[in-house]
């Protein structure tokens, strides 16, 4: 019939117009890594930057982030803040204003991170903090700041309980005590030790650049402690362990330093390290974590030719937090919506670190703080061995952190 063709055509055209676009559009999502890539903080910052790159590559290879109808492929821009507060503000300003970054990750070092946290609330951005351990960063209730690494005193309290259980009653502390979060660790530790009638008999200090701690150790030796607690960065701390042996100190050595076997063996022999404890967040410990951690370790080695540092997964997990939050929020365009999604996000299955769930099985608590479990590690025959979990209460700590908000 002559009338059928135009009708059919019309029907075809109308149905074509009504069918929604089947293919999703693809966009580039820029991820800004702000970290110490040079200078003293680079030992923490560079591995974090590497971890972010690795996560981004994995996500892109698996098809990208699917938010609504848009698939995002990640592009990583790194910016060096040299662990310096002024540089950090310049660096983040550049990322936000010149590179149009909304999602900031990395943040290994406390001083520079605090400087950024002081203005980030007014920015259209989400900031995920990694290794920086200064408590104040998540104690201020900034709605777009989140941290994957637990504050130092959360671990300190657990460590104090553990060491008290081991029977120590006169502990000598030697540490980087000019650094706020190390002092917070020691204070929390001391509180727990005091509960069983123990006390800290000395608090000696060393700086980031110091390598000769024999004066402090000689003094400590004279006070006859029944245990030593070493808190500080791995590079000087390794010297403390070595020099303690060289001075004939043979009481148990407990520490809060983090640091891979490679980093220690540069300075101190395995024999001298034998029996040293590290009481810290479980971080990257293959046997304590699981398949995810094994894969992370293997992939990192393959990609970068060296083993990943124990704290590098804090940054790796940040990227997966963002991925899952953006997918939940349905879009990456509104940083505020993504921040809200992060707030209620359950722990991502791709996460390498072992996190403790908060209220409503959320990864982050009301302060934007995530809590990894704490573990007691001991150096046994050349390797850090996971011995036990430290008794930790994240719900109680979360309340405490909320209570100190000004």
Partner 1 sequence: MNELLQQILNGLAIGSVYTLVALGLTVVFGILGIAHFAHGSLAMFGGYLTFVFSTSMGLSFFASIALAMPVGAVMGMLIERLAYRPVRDAPHINAFIIALGLTMMLEGGNLLLFGADQVIIQTPYQQVFDFGGIFVAQLRMVVIVTAVTLVAVVTLLLLKTKTGKSVRAVAQNRHAAVLMGVNVNFVSSVVFAISSALGVAAGALIGALLALAPGVGESFAVKGFAVLILGGLGSLPGAILGGLVLGVSESLAAGFLSSAYKDVISFLIMILVLLVMPQGLMGKK
Partner 2 sequence: MRRLISNPLVFSVMVVAGALAMPHAFKSPYYIHLMTLALIWIVLAQGQNLTQGFVGYVSIAQAGFMGIGAYISTLLTMKYGVSVWATLVIAPLLTGVMAIVAGYPSLRVKGHYFSIVTLAYNMVIFIVLMTFSALTGGEAGIPDVPRPSELTLFGYVFSFEGRSNLNYYALALTAAVLATTCCAFILHSRVGRVMLAIRQNEDLAEAMGVITSRYKLFAFVMSSILAGLAGTLYAHYIGFLNPEPFGVDQSLNIILAVILGGSGTLTGPIVGAVSVIFLPELLRFADSFRLMTYGLILVVATIFLPKGLVPLVATLWRRLRTSQPVAGDNKPTSKA
DSSP assignment of 308-326, as one string? PPTTTHHHHHHHHHHHHHH
If we measure between CA atoms, which residue out of 15, 42, 338, 392 comes closest to residue 188? Answer: 392
Q: How far is the CB of 178 from partner 1 (least distance, A)?
A: 7
HSE of 387, CA atoms in CB hemisphere, 13 A: 16
Task: Count CB neighbours of 108 within 10 A.
Answer: 32
HSE of 383, CA atoms in CB hemisphere, 13 A: 6
Determine the Cα–Cα distance for residues 386 and 400; give it in Å rounded to an integer: 28
Determine the Cα–Cα distance for residues 1 and 405; give it in Å rounded to an integer: 80
292-297's contacts with Cβ under 8 Å and 24+ in sequence apart are 292/350, 292/351, 292/352, 293/352, 296/352
Contact positions vs partner 1 (CB under 8 A): 38-40, 42-43, 177-178, 204-207, 209-212, 214-216, 218-219, 221-222, 235, 239, 245-248, 263, 266-267, 269
Q: How far is the CB of 256 from partner 2 (least distance, A)?
A: 16
DSSP assignment of 341-360, as one string? HHHHPBPPTT--S-EEP-GG
Choose from partner 2, partner 1, none: what does 244 bind? Cβ within 5-8 Å by kind: none
Q: How far is the CB of 173 from partner 2 (least distance, A)?
A: 15
Choose from partner 2, partner 1, none: what does 192 bind? Cβ within 5-8 Å by kind: none
The SS3 call for residue 58 is helix
Task: Count CB neighbours of 51 within 10 A.
Answer: 31
Q: How far is the CB of 39 from partner 2 (least distance, A)?
A: 10
Choose from partner 1, partner 2, none: what does 196 bind? Cβ within 5-8 Å by kind: none
Chain centroid, CA 34 distance in Å: 14
Take residue 338 and report the two structure tokens written for it: 């993504």
Which C-beta is closer to partner 1: that of 197 or that of 222? 222
Q: What are phi and psi of 373, to 5 degrees?
A: -70, 155
Q: How far is the CB of 170 from partner 1 (least distance, A)?
A: 17
* DSSP summary character for residue 135: G
Choose from partner 2, partner 1, none: what does 115 bind? Cβ within 5-8 Å by kind: partner 2
Contact positions vs partner 2 (CB under 8 A): 37-38, 79-80, 83-86, 89-90, 93-94, 96-98, 110-112, 114-115, 117-119, 122-123, 134, 136, 140, 178-181, 183, 205, 207, 406
Which C-beta is closer to partner 1: that of 238 or that of 370? 238
Q: How far is the CB of 150 from partner 2 (least distance, A)?
A: 16
Choose from partner 2, partner 1, none: what does 212 bind? Cβ within 5-8 Å by kind: partner 1
Cβ(242)–Cβ(272) below 8 Å: yes
Choose from partner 2, partner 1, none: what does 209 bind? Cβ within 5-8 Å by kind: partner 1
Which C-beta is closer to partner 1: that of 128 or that of 220? 220
Q: How far is the CB of 379 from partner 1 (least distance, A)?
A: 18
The SS3 call for residue 162 is helix
Which C-beta is closer to partner 1: that of 40 or that of 348? 40
Q: How far is the CB of 91 from partner 2 (least distance, A)?
A: 9
Choose from partner 1, partner 2, none: what does 235 bind? Cβ within 5-8 Å by kind: partner 1
Choose from partner 2, partner 1, none: what does 245 bind? Cβ within 5-8 Å by kind: partner 1
């Amino acid at each position: 019939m002559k009338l059928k063709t135009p009708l059919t055509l019309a029907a075809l055209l109308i149905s074509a117009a009504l069918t929604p676009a089947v293919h999703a559009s693809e966009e580039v999502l820029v991820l800004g890594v702000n970290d110490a890539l040079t200078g003293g903080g680079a030992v923490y910052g560079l591995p974090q930057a590497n971890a972010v790159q690795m996560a981004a590559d994995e996500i892109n290879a698996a098809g990208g982030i699917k938010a609504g109808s848009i698939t995002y492929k990640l592009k990583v821009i790194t910016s060096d803040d040299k662990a310096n507060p002024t540089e950090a503000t310049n660096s983040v300003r550049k990322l936000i204003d010149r590179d149009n970054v909304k999602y900031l990750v990395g943040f290994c070092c406390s001083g520079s991170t605090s400087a950024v946290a002081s203005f980030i609330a007014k920015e259209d951005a989400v900031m995920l903090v990694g290794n920086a351990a200064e408590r104040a960063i998540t104690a201020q209730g900034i709605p777009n700041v989140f941290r994957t690494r637990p504050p130092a005193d959360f671990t300190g309290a657990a460590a104090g309980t553990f060491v008290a259980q081991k029977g120590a009653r006169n502990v000598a502390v030697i540490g980087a005590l000019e650094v706020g979060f190390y002092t917070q660790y020691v204070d929390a530790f001391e509180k727990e030790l005091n509960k069983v009638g123990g006390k800290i008999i000395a608090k000696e200090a060393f700086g980031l650049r110091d390598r000769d701690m024999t004066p402090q150790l000689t003094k400590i030796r004279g006070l006859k402690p029944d245990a030593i607690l070493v808190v500080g960065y791995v590079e000087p701390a390794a010297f403390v362990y070595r020099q303690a042996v060289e001075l004939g100190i043979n009481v148990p050595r407990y520490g809060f330093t983090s640091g891979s076997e490679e980093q220690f063996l540069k300075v101190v022999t395995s024999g001298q390290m034998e029996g040293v404890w590290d009481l810290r967040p479980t971080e990257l410990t293959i046997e304590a974590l699981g398949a995810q951690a094994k894969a992370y370790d293997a992939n990192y080695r393959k990609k970068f030719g060296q083993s990943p540092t124990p704290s590098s997964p804090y940054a790796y997990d940040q990227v997966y937090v963002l991925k899952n939050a953006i997918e939940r929020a349905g879009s990456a365009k509104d940083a505020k919506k993504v921040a809200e999604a992060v707030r209620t996000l359950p722990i991502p299955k791709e996460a390498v670190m072992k996190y403790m769930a908060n209220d409503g099985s959320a990864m982050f608590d009301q302060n934007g703080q995530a809590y990894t479990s704490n573990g007691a590690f001991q150096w046994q025959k050349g390797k850090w061995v996971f011995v036990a979990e430290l008794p930790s209460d994240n719900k109680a700590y979360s309340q405490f952190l909320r209570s100190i908000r000004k």
